[in-house]
Structure 1
Amino acid sequence: MPSLVVHYAFVGLLAATLLGAAFDKRSLLLSLLVVTFPDVDAFIGLYFQVGHRAATTNLVIPAAMALVIAADLYVREESYIRGRWGAYGVRVAWFSVVVYAVGHVVLDLITGGANLFWPLYDQFYQLRGHLELSTQRGIVQTFVDLPEPPSTGGASGGGGSTKQAMGNSSQVQMSTGVDPNPGQTEPANVDRVFPIARSGWELVVLVVGTLATATRLVVGHDLPEE
């Protein structure tokens, strides 16, 4: 699972490329705070069965955020966000939703799994598989099981299914440095591991995202005068 610093680097890269003129130290700091919040469930898991990658690492919270922002911007006669911060606030508000959903939840989804729809539906999912173009088989993907084509004997194919379901919160417990052995008695000499980068792609994201964010803070987005 990605460490917080990998989440930070990835979100910094997103901010540097998507925020445009709204990118500054304030919007970057807010983005880092937003992407940190989902990991609060690592501490929730110390006291409740529904813990890491479930209680706050889900798509329900960013969906609720999006509804609140949309109601303020498009339903209220006078938007609080637009009135207080103008176009800058509108862009940063929507970007915060992207940060929560993509910068943390989706990144966790591809690296160990997340309980995407908790508390509406208690099921962990992991996005894994491959997508390729074959000269013999055409487009091949293994992310989702598609219905089998009808056989020559006339039988119809079965419905599509997914191979990504992992189990509910009573079956799946995610270990963290805060709680290395969830649901078990913690030994006195427990090894608490706080990862930095656990794969090559995480190291690449960490280095490139950090450099891109730092460069954008120093250089900005305006071209120098000739």
Structure 2
Amino acid sequence: MVSTVVHVSVGALVAAALLRWFDAKSLAVVCAFAAFPDLDTFLGVWVPGGHRALLHTLLVPAVLGAVVYWDARRADSWLRGRFGQRGPHVAAVGVLALTFGGILPDLTANGVNLLYPVHDRFYTFSGRLHLSSTEGVVQTFVDFADEPGGGGTVGGTTENTHYYTGVDVERGPDPADAERVFPVVSSGMELVVVLTAALGVAGRFREQKR
């Protein structure tokens, strides 16, 4: 399970890399975009199977990206009128953070319902790529085989899939004595991502002061 802390950290890396105007407000907006899909953790309490489906679908950034692009091309852009010249740019970076920070990390960890509600099916994207002295280039990212570590694995639907969270332990009413775990980092690699994001953001703020 990828925590919201990790999602926000990836969003912060996207912000540090792409924001033309870097300040605390723009950073907060981009990080909020990255955290946005995790709101379906709470929606899943009322919509069975909704977690990692309702807001983790790629249709969300696709629609938001189209709206931002359409608005940015208008002479009377709402984003420019409300937030100034940086408005469309920050919103566009936010959509990228939502995709790369909010959705894709979960796709590699247990999976997401990529095209919900158009196509109700959870997918997990995992695999490996290496060079072998005997087999040459070996990759399993596009191998849809039912074997451990094998590429894009097709999972269940919202009808039969539930992801454990501290908010919603199991499908239906949670047991009164259920243990609720809220992850912060779940691996050394996730900790590296969080620390790298902190370093990258600190570096950008330092540059702004020069």
Q: TM-score of the superposition, structure 1-length normalised?
A: 0.83
1:13 aligned residue: 13
Q: Secondary structure at the match of 1:196?
A: coil
What per-residue deviation string (whole Å, max 9, x for no partner) do you get for residues 85-127 of structure 1?
A: 4442222011011011111100111112111111111111111
Larger radius of gyration: 1
1:125 aligned residue: 123
CA distance in 2, matches of 1:214, 1:55: 33
1:157 aligned residue: none
2:168 aligned residue: 179
State the Cα distance separating 1:163 from its structure 2 match: 4.1
Q: Secondary structure at the match of 2:141?
A: coil
AA aligned to 1:27 is: S
1:194 equivalent among 159, 182, 185: 182
Q: Tell whether 2:61 aligns with 1:62.
A: yes
What per-residue deviation string (whole Å, max 9, x for no partner) do you get for residues 152-178 of structure 1?
A: xxxxxxxxxx74211111121111000
Change (3 A) 1:191 1:87: same
Q: Secondary structure at the match of 1:191?
A: coil
Counterparts of residues 1-226 of structure 1 (less than 5 Å): 1-20=1-20, 22-74=21-73, 76-145=74-143, 163-183=152-172, 185-217=173-205, 219-221=206-208, 224=210
AA aligned to 2:102 is: H
State the Cα distance separating 1:82 from its structure 2 match: 3.5
AA aligned to 2:154 is: A
Give the count of matched residue pairs: 204
AA aligned to 1:172 is: T
Q: TM-score of the superposition, structure 2-length normalised?
A: 0.89
Q: Secondary structure at the match of 2:117?
A: coil
Give the share of equivalent positions with the same residue, in percent: 40
CA distance in 2, matches of 1:192, 1:167: 24
State the Cα distance separating 1:84 from its structure 2 match: 4.3
* RMSD, aligned CA: 1.9
Is the contact made by 2:112 and 2:123 (CA closer than 8 Å) also made in structure 1? yes
Unaligned runs of 5+ in 1: 147-161
What per-residue deviation string (whole Å, max 9, x for no partner) do you get for residues 67-87 of structure 1?
A: 11111123x343232344444
CA distance in 2, matches of 1:50, 1:96: 26
Is the contact made by 1:35 and 1:99 (CA closer than 8 Å) also made in structure 2? yes
AA aligned to 2:66 is: L
Unaligned runs of 5+ in 2: 145-150
State the Cα distance separating 1:26 from its structure 2 match: 0.7
